[in-house]
């Protein structure tokens, strides 16, 4: 098959070619005729045929694009980097007539996975110095993607093998020239070391290929965070890169990962889904395969923690009445992960007109009484229960409104209570209290209030002390303490009225007093 051997001896020939271009072209064509017995390939116009694959070779861009017939239409599926021969590679549409596992090329040199396109023009691997997979020209391999052949279409072993394995004889091939590489673009070239003139093709899938023993590399940047706060966003794949050390291509997009999470009770890692909404220690294992199937992996530990300051909620400025109890109100605190820290809060309170604050626990703050009119400063503080124990605080103003005390008066202040039946003392009290209510006047924070048995409290006490007065079976004097509790400041106020108790208990059902024993007359027999 037609191919020029560009080895060390060939360099001398190249110098001759640069001087005698026209003569070399003639000799080349003679070589074609003598070496293969096949005349120069000419472009032919053929009718279209429905083959499974259609290979379009762009000899100007040195790219071959494979199209697959899908539902009656050819769609691009692969792009190969090739080396054509410029004008020595014919343009036109052809159908592949033959294949050769190994083929002797011009030089002599040798090629793998050869598929004839037309005449002496083949698809084949970059050439070898001998019939040995370890003798491929490293210099020529690095020329893939550039014009380098003398007519044939050179490919990497992997790409030549794909055509050899997948494209049946009779596959349609169109060779053309364009600056546009094709719908899939131009693949990036693989570069090998030229410190040795011959070696294996890095893409050769042969299990003995030493390149297949070269593992890819996974790198995890120092920027990759190993701890993440609860609920924060975290990209598992960020700052992780991978490279194929044979093809020198990036494998970052092909990196896969698996996750396990530590179970503290069982002291083992179990398969899990990584989530910053679940505290704990995770192992993330990254793995990737090279183009030749060699695997590499790296594992890191990532801990989801809750070390930020807790969140204090419902701490707002308030206006309350004097003597309001509970300085916590509805204020709550919790960790970012949801655990309550409300009872762990400390509360400092500065009274109106004072500079020094009084600090207390949450439980004591619940019993605190705002007993002074004015504006209080209340500061809530709570620490995270985890190191580094970050704290959160919120300060609010509590305005305490000081209301006027209620006022209660009685006019008149003296009343008579008549008891006609020792079993009806309660009724007598009820009648007396009705009279007292009529005499009472109330003002609550400047507003008049209508007195009633519902907003007044009556206490019967002695004439000279506050002991309860209970003996209503005889005449006497007592007092009634009438109390009203302010609706604003909840402070009770009282007024005292004097009571004269009169007992009129009949002896025979008539409304007359009983006759004392000293005044009775003894009957005469």
User: Active-site residue numbers?
Assistant: 124, 152
Specify whether the CB–CB gap between 120 and 151 falls below 8 A: yes
Q: What is the DSSP letter of 202?
A: T
Break the chain down into helix, strand, coil percent, rounded to 5: 15, 40, 45
**Integer Cα distance of 177 and 215 in angstroms:** 38
Query: What SS3 state is found at 494?
Result: strand
**Integer Cα distance of 108 and 2 in angstroms:** 10
Which residues, at least 6 apart from 327, have a Cβ–Cβ distance to it below 8 Å? 347, 349, 365, 366, 368, 370, 378, 398
Q: Where are the alpha helices (DSSP H) in 101-222?
A: 138-141, 157-166
Peptide bond into 350 cis (omega under 30): no
10 Å Cβ neighbour count for 183? 11
Specify whether the CB–CB gap between 357 and 277 falls below 8 A: no
Q: Would you state the torsion angle of the CA atoms of residues 424, 430, 431, 435, taken in this order, to the nearest 10 degrees?
A: 160
| 432 sits in which H/E element | helix 425-439
**Integer Cα distance of 345 and 376 in angstroms:** 18
The contacts found for 516-524 with CB under 8 angstroms, 24 or more apart, are none
């Amino acid at each position: 098959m037609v191919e020029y051997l560009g080895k060390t001896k060939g360099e001398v020939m190249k110098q001759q070619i640069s001087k005698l271009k026209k003569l070399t072209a003639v000799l080349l064509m003679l070589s074609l005729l003598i070496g293969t017995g096949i005349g120069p390939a000419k472009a032919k116009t053929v009718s279209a045929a429905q083959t499974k694959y259609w290979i379009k070779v762009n000899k100007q861009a040195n790219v071959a694009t494979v199209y697959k017939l899908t539902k009656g239409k050819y769609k691009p599926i692969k792009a190969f980097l090739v080396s054509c021969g410029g004008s020595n590679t014919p343009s036109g549409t052809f159908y592949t007539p033959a294949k050769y596992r190994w083929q002797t090329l011009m030089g002599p040199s040798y090629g793998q996975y050869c598929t004839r396109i037309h005449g002496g023009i083949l698809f084949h691997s970059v050439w070898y110095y001998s019939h040995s997979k370890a003798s491929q020209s490293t210099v020529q391999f690095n020329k893939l993607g550039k014009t380098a052949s003398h007519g044939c279409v050179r490919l990497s072993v992997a790409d030549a093998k794909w055509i050899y394995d997948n494209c049946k004889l009779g596959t349609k091939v169109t060779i053309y020239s364009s600056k546009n590489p094709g719908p899939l673009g131009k693949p990036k070239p693989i570069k090998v070391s030229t410190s040795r003139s011959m070696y294996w093709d890095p893409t050769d899938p042969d299990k003995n290929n030493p390149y297949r023993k070269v593992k890819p590399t996974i790198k995890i940047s120092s920027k990759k965070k190993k701890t993440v706060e609860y609920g924060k966003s975290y990209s598992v794949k960020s700052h992780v890169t991978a490279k194929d050390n044979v093809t020198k291509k990036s494998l970052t997009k092909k990196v896969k990962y698996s996750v396990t999470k530590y179970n503290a009770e069982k002291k083992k890692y179990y398969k899990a889904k990584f989530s910053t909404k679940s505290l704990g220690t995770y192992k993330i294992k990254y793995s990737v395969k090279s183009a030749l199937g060699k695997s590499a992996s790296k594992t890191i530990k990532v801990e989801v923690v809750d070390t930020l300051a807790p969140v204090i909620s419902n701490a707002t400025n308030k206006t309350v009445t004097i003597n309001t109890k509970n300085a916590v109100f509805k204020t709550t605190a919790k960790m970012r992960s949801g655990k309550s820290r409300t009872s762990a809060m400390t509360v400092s309170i500065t009274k109106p007109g004072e500079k020094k604050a009084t600090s207390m626990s949450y439980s004591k703050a619940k019993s605190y009484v705002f007993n002074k009119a004015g504006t209080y400063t209340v500061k809530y503080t709570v620490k995270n229960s985890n190191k580094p124990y970050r704290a959160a605080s919120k300060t609010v103003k509590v305005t305490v409104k000081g209301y006027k005390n209620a006022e209660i008066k009685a006019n008149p202040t003296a009343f008579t209570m008549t008891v006609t039946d020792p079993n009806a003392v309660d009724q007598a009290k009820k009648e007396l209290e009705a009279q007292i209510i009529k005499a009472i006047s109330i003002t609550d924070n400047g507003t008049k209030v209508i007195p009633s048995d519902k907003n007044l409290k009556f206490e019967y006490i002695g004439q000279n002390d506050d002991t309860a007065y209970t003996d209503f079976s005889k005449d006497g004097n007592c007092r009634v303490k009438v109390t009203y509790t302010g609706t604003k400041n909840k402070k009770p106020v009282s007024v005292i009225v004097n009571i004269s108790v009169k007992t009129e208990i009949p002896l025979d059902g008539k409304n007359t007093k009983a006759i004392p024993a000293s005044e009775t007359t003894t009957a005469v027999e």
